[in-house]
Chain A
């Protein structure tokens, strides 16, 4: 498999990222904070007041290093796109299939199926480890039905509906997966999150989405044209499609680990006057470090039967999607956990 390179997260405010020969240098108030060989970095994620020199931007574009800008609070702002890689024929195939309702749904329902299957597995594991729980068992059964109807879904809107129902079922029991009483989860709330669990979930989803965007661009697919998610200007629909199979399997389990191992306390979050909840600077840094560590951990890919680090899963899936679109494989094979 490809080599997993590092992602550089620049979270310190009022920093300046520039280039010295083939190294990336981070300055603050004229002082050098850190320096990395550019060869070891695949993505630079800038949060808030971070400026990047034009030569550094050019270098990123030329060498396929992803450069992404977020607000200080982790909301996605922009991504710099360098030379388009890959093949126009592949993208044409992608557009053609996305325009064909039947073919788009053939892919969409597999992606949603994987999302439901993974959510179901997370719940079943909870029962296995912590004993039977009536609500969770009911949700597992419910998700089983959703999975079945997903297989026979006739259209993208129908698949979308099944996905929505399944998500509601899953999140209705998600609070039961959080140990202790320090954090309460009362359903998924986005834009803005009004409790710490939702704030964390949103943050991790947005990080993995960016990983999916990079992976799709890397194999020559257009991250903005999806099969499940419809086109909307500025929305990386295909990356959001790809994210579905990673939500429960990667993001949610990661968030649960952080909370249940008591790595984060309620003081790690700030509630604004509006009621919106966000991560403090230190928390964000801590979460990013843990996220980065998780990315190095290896898993056996269920379809490729090969050991790969977590961080390369988006790449593997983008590759398998490209191979399916090219006609090498009859079906897209999503990432499934056991």
Chain B
């Protein structure tokens, strides 16, 4: 799809896709404006990932589990790391099963699954295989949730990649998303000042400041 563009563009990190899917402005703040504010959620997520990534590869029966596996795709211009990759060699064809670890609980929307899908698409390109399923593991629930890597999810992933590139190319930071609930959970809330941006009242504010002298 975007072979030529991908070559010219810098490689996107897979983890950036969940940012753009969650809120294009959050993506721009982190990847264009390069601001990063650690909060409880992000710090907790990092500790969890340190734990996940620290595990060594292990073999159980026919399934080998590898952690912190690097993946990339030249077609999509993506690179990143997989939390866990299970490789099952019991069948006729080797089966690859990616697992993404998240703090929190399963999300209603696609943003976590997009990340998993992007990982799967990288693996497909690297190994010349087809992946139909992966899983999310949520710390609050402590169990796996199966994710189908279907066409709908693939389309959503490709759109996210496209949107991310458009923002990077333009260097512009989009407006905050409509869903205010997302802002509450966002670690960048304080730097983003979404409420001040959603309703730009600055012209009125400045006008009033200059006006106060006249009525005195």
Enumerate chain A interface residues (CB-CB to B < 8 A). Answer: 1-2, 86-87, 89-90, 110, 113-114, 117, 120, 124, 140-141, 143-148, 150-151, 219-220, 302-304, 319-320, 323-324, 326-334, 336
Q: Which of A1, A145, A146 contacts B190 (CB 8 A)?
A: A1
B205 and A331 within 8 A (CB): yes
What residues of chain B lie closer than 8 Å to A220, measured between beta carbons? Answer: 33-35
- A330 CB contacts on chain B under 8 angstroms: 200, 202-203
The 8 closest A-B pairs by CB, nearest first: A144-B213, A147-B213, A151-B210, A331-B202, A87-B34, A87-B33, A329-B202, A331-B206
| Interface segment out of the listed B53-61, B111-119, B191-199 | B191-199
**Residues of A contacting B35 with CB < 8 Å?**
86-87, 219-220
| Smallest CB separation, A70 vs chain B (Å) | 30
Q: Which residues of B contact A (CB under 8 A)?
A: 32-35, 171-173, 175, 190-191, 193, 195-197, 200-203, 205-206, 209-210, 212-214, 216
**Measured between alpha carbons, how far is A303 from B206 in the docked complex, in Å?**
10
Q: Which of A86, A145, A328 has the most CB of B within 10 A?
A: A328
A320 touches B213 (CB 8 A): no
B210 in contact with A89 (CB, 8 Å): no
Q: Known A-B contacts: A86-B35, A114-B209, A328-B175. Give 7 more (CB < 8 A).
A: A90-B33, A117-B212, A144-B216, A323-B197, A326-B33, A327-B172, A331-B203
Contacts A320-B193, A324-B202, A328-B173 known; A148 to B213 CB distance under 8 Å?
yes
> Which residues of A have CB within 8 Å of B172?
327
Interface centre among B32, B33, B203 (most CB of A within 10 A): B33
Distance from A151 Cβ to chain B, minimum over Cβ atoms (Å): 4
**Are A320 and B196 in touch, CB under 8 angstroms?**
yes
| From A114, A141, A304, A334, contact of B196 by CB (8 A) | A304
Cα of A57 to Cα of B191 in the assembled complex, Å: 27
A114 CA / B212 CA spacing, docked (Å): 11
- Knowing A90-B33, A323-B197, A326-B173, the reply to whether A150 touches B205 (Cβ < 8 A) is no
Are B202 and A219 interface neighbours, CB within 8 A? no
Listed by A's residue number, 26 A-B pairs whose Cβ atoms lie within 8 Å are A86-B33, A87-B34, A89-B32, A110-B206, A113-B206, A113-B210, A114-B209, A117-B209, A124-B216, A144-B213, A144-B214, A148-B210, A148-B213, A150-B210, A219-B191, A220-B35, A304-B196, A320-B196, A323-B196, A328-B197, A330-B202, A331-B203, A331-B205, A332-B206, A333-B206, A334-B209
Which chain B residue has the least Cβ–Cβ distance from A336? B209
- Which residues of the partner chain B approach A1 to less than 8 Å between Cβ atoms? 190
Q: Whole-angstrom distance from the CB of A178 to the nearest CB of chain B?
A: 24
A331 contact set on B, CB distance < 8 A: 202-203, 205-206
How many angstroms from the CA of A120 to the CA of B210 in the assembled complex?
12
A166 → chain B closest CB, angstroms: 11
Measured between C-beta atoms, what is the minimum distance from B19 to chain A in Å? Answer: 16
Is B200 within 8 A of A329, CB to CB? Answer: yes
Closest A residue to B172 by CB, please name it.
A327
Instruction: Chain A residues near B210: list those with CB within 8 A.
Output: 113, 147-148, 150-151
Complex contacts, A319 vs chain B, CB 8 Å: 191, 193
Instruction: Name the CB-closest residue of A to B174.
Output: A328
- Residues in A neighbouring B33, C-beta threshold 8 A: 86-87, 89-90, 220, 326
Q: How far is the CA of A91 from the CA of B200 in the complex (A)?
A: 22
Q: How close is A149's CB to chain B, nearest CB, in angstroms?
A: 10
Select one of B34, B173, B205, B213 contacting A303, CB under 8 A.
Answer: B205
> Complex Cα distance A146/B190, Å?
35
**Whole-angstrom CA separation of A141 from B213 in the bound complex:** 8
Residues of chain B within 8 A (CB-CB) of A219 are 35, 191
A334 to B207, CA, bound (A): 12
Residues of A near B34 (CB, < 8 A) are: 86-87, 220
Docked CA distance A81–B123 (Å): 43
Q: CA separation between A302 and B196, bound complex, in Å?
A: 11
Chain B residues, Cβ within 8 Å of A124:
216
Q: Most chain-B CB neighbours within 10 Å: which of A1, A87, A124, A320?
A: A87
Complex-state Cα separation, A146 to B210, whole angstroms: 10
- Within the complex, the shortest CB–CB distance from A222 to chain B, in Å, comes to 15
Chain B residue with the shortest CB-CB distance to A326: B173
> Which residues of the other chain, B, contact A326 by a CB distance below 8 angstroms?
33, 173
Residue of B nearest to A146 (CB): B213
Using Cβ atoms and an 8 Å threshold, which residues of chain A touch B213? 117, 120, 143-148
Q: A89-B32, A220-B35, A331-B202 are in contact. Are A147 and B196 (CB under 8 A)?
A: no
Nearest chain A CB to B123 CB, angstrom units: 33
Pairwise interchain contact B190-A147, C-beta atoms closer than 8 A: no
Give A191 Cβ to nearest chain B Cβ, in Å.
Answer: 31
B175 partner residues in chain A, CB cutoff 8 A: 328
- The residue on B at minimum CB distance from A1 is B190
* A323 touches which of B32, B193, B201, B212 (Cβ 8 Å): B193
Considering the complex, give the chain B residue whose CB is closest to the CB of A145. Answer: B213
Give A150 to B214 CA distance when docked, in angstroms.
Answer: 12
